[in-house]
Amino acid sequence: MRPPLDLSLYLVTDTGLCGHRGVAPTVAAAVKGGVTAVQLRDPDADARTLFSLGRVIQAELAGTGVPLIVNDRLDVAVWLDADGVHLGQRDVSPETARRQLGHHAYIGLSVSRPEQLAHVPDTVDHLGVGPVFPQSTKPDADAPLGLGGLAQIVRESPLPCVAIGGIGVSEAAAVMGTGAAGIAVVSAVCGQPDPEAAAHSLVRTLRQEIPA
């Protein structure tokens, strides 16, 4: 049985925002700062490029206990023998992902509206809920839920929810106040001059909101 995934500070990579520093060094620094899970996301990369990047990130994560989740690309997740995959509503089904990745893998699913909860299969481990606030890293994202919409989904969901979309230090406390299991961040870490310090600042805020 796989242990519960620590969703408290979930980093989603952005190759453009990582810039000259690079994705893998950004991930390594962020993990030092307290990131608990890493999702590899680059919708513009081909499968070979994403696989190569995933291998480098796996090397950075080795021995840290921080899992690597692949966004959307089940094929790359399988090739990497990644810790899991995160799927959108229009990606391959969670049932297919479970068959290909096995029972040890974590499977996340994006949800942006309360009515989607009725169609979440029991092969899913957690939900990515958002966008909560306006954001710029995913141009095709749905309209922001706001804190009220997030709270409704968290309340009605049978699964842990990690909130995503426009969340930084100043928003983290209010987001956690909805009962979310954690926050997923992109620009709040990848777009910062010091990813380790940025992650550490988020962790300090989260520790004030998550009961011991």
What mean pLDDT, rounded, does the chain reach? Answer: 94
The residue among 48 and 4 whose pLDDT is bigger is 48
Q: How confident is the model at residue 45 (pLDDT cuts 50, 70, 90)?
A: very high
Return the CATH superfamily for domain 9-209.
Aldolase class I (3.20.20.70)
| Residue 138 annotated as catalytic | yes
- Catalytic choice (41, 73, 112, 157): 41
**Phi, psi for 148 (deg, rounded to 5):** -65, -45
What pLDDT was estimated at residue 138?
63
Six-digit token string for 166: 């426009």
What pLDDT was estimated at residue 137?
64
H-state helical runs in the chain: 15-18, 23-33, 47-61, 74-80, 94-101, 146-156, 169-176, 187-190, 195-209
**Phi, psi for 156 (deg, rounded to 5):** -90, -15
Which among 97, 185, 183, 173 has a CA at the least distance from the CA of 138?
185
174 pLDDT higher than 80: yes
210 pLDDT higher than 60: no
Q: Enumerate the known binding-site residues for Mg(2+).
A: 72, 91
Give per-residue pLDDT as tens, 129-164.
Answer: 999 998 666 666 678 999 999 999 999 999 999 999
- Catalytic choice (8, 98, 110, 112): 110
Residue 60: other Cβ atoms inside 10 A: 19
Q: Enumerate the known binding-site residues.
A: 71-72, 91, 110, 138, 166, 186-187
211 pLDDT higher than 60: no
Our CA dihedral for 32, 189, 133, 173, rounded to 10 degrees, sits at: 40
Six-digit token string for 105: 């893998």
Q: Where are the domains of the chain?
A: 9-209
Give per-residue pLDDT as tens, 197-207.
Answer: 999 999 999 98
